[in-house]
Structure 1
């Protein structure tokens, strides 16, 4: 059976490596890679590039509407690895901080809009940081950080809100599992990976980063292998569980299950989801 995948952030780094692995597994696979810049090399004929500025909610909505406009399109995999390493302060696009748009809001909009096309056993993979977010530091009264913005605060809010939302999607699906819907939602921690994001560091840190990278990082291809294998294992374990499984997982940089993650109640999940959609839908209108 052919695998159809969309990989946003798939033009470089981890996303590109994951896209290449999916494309290489079978010639019948169809892999769409998306980002702002077309990669110099698209190594497999079953890969295609579609441009997307993933900082813009309005552009994401147009992108997903275009994909859904073709009847019968179904996805097996939705992978989102878009991100940026920057020391800049709050920089808004359509009223949303650019870093938070890439690391959280855009990912959630892609899931919401493409979920109707996802096969009953499809998989959604957020590559950001499913390991180190601190739930106790989530700013519930300022989730989008209009008033309390800081680099570490923005990172933590994005980590924790991604954690909450994968549980939200899995919980929303529970009523459909008896009818065969067993989509699995994953928030992955890639660990240290030698990617082009290092180029976004200040010049005075780049030399140090290049020196240390071989000692503390793995290649994007190695990371892709660990994460894809881990996702497949978690989805299989959930499907095989007696009485149905837990259809969300946080995995580490070796693809192993992170077992100590906070479990959120329905009120908390709905609070984050409602705040997210209010902000995202306003951004779409303004775009």
Structure 2
């Protein structure tokens, strides 16, 4: 079946592999990949590149406004994979957001919110980050963007848990008895052969080298995640559950924390206040 997909972070690694797999399934599908640098090799003629700096809330707003203003078919699939692997401490963007958190959480949520109007009624949204781990009890509710309590482990945990909360936030807006049945997936890719390993400092390169012996290819990971997201979305929607956390084989992760409406609203309100305070334009 022909689909229209947008893959942010699709210029390399898992995102590129997912975009390539979607484009290869049927020549009538249309795939847009976005990131900072256009890939040297565009493997299929039905893949289009559009530049985007996903660390910038301002750039994301301009990108999504342009996307929404164009007369085009709606998106069946939104995949968000951008990321960075670094041991640097808090490194703020010009907008005052830690660069890792901008890529792994804030920019992702701004993309979803702003592109919601161009998603089909049964679209799937897949966040590739870490839908398996994360410790809800360690969430610092009074410092969600970690201006005061920043640490590598703490920032990673916040991005994991807040992405979990937000897929449930969006899922709660779907209509079990109506027509809007979009499904929101937070995926854990596991250990994947990726260019991200090159960003590790020299003293951790042996760790990256060792991981290559236990990691899968980006293409294999893409297959697992795409197939798993489709199966879990179908099963979840049939149950009236419009969110799923999946593991590196595409299997549903059970026993995830369930967030109440007040907790979801707290995280959503914080997120919109921060991204709207740094970007231009109003919410959709």
TM-score of the two chains, using structure 2 as the length reference: 0.96
TM-align CA RMSD: 1.2
Aligned residues between the structures: 280
Deviation at 1:285, TM superposition (A): 4.1
Counterpart pick for 1:267 among 256, 262, 272 = 262
Shift of 1:179: 2.3
For 2:216, the equivalent position in structure 1 comes to 218
Distance (whole Å) between structure 2 residues aligned to residue 252 and residue 260 of structure 1: 13
Work out whether 1:277 is the aligned partner of 2:278: no
Residue in structure 1 matched with residue 67 of structure 2 by the alignment:
67
Bigger mean CA deviation after superposition, 246-255 or 63-72: 63-72
Q: Which residue of 2 aligns with 1:112?
A: 113
Q: Output the CA distance in 2 between the equivalents of 1:4 and 1:118.
A: 10
1:156 alignment partner, SS class = helix
2:228 equivalent in structure 1: 230
Partner Cα separation in structure 1 for residue 208 and residue 131 of structure 2: 23
> 1:204: how far off?
2.4
Q: Secondary structure at the match of 1:140?
A: coil
> Structure 1: how far apart are the matches of 2:77 and 2:50?
16
**C-alpha distance in structure 2 between counterparts of 1:99 and 1:27, whole Å:** 35
Q: Does 1:133 align with 2:131?
A: no
Normalised by the length of structure 1, the TM-score is 0.95
Name 2:180's counterpart in structure 1.
181
Gaps of 5+ in 2: none
Q: CA deviation at 1:11?
A: 0.3
Q: C-alpha separation between the residues in 1 aligned to 2:53 and 2:276?
A: 17
Deviations 1:135-193 (CA, angstroms, capped at 9, x unpaired): 000010000001111110000000000000000000012xx332211100000000000
Q: Which residue of 2 aligns with 1:202?
A: 201
Query: CA–CA distance in 2 between the matches of 1:208 and 1:81?
Result: 22
Shift of the alpha carbon at 1:216?
1.5
Could you tell me whether the CA contact under 8 Å between 2:236 and 2:244 is conserved in 1?
A: no
Q: Following the alignment from structure 1 to structure 2, what is the Cα–Cα distance between the partners of residues 285 and 7?
A: 23
In 2, Cα distance between equivalents of 1:208 and 1:267: 41
Provide the residue aligned with 2:252 in structure 1. 257
- d(CA) in 2 for partners of 1:80, 1:5: 11
Larger helix proportion of the pair: 1
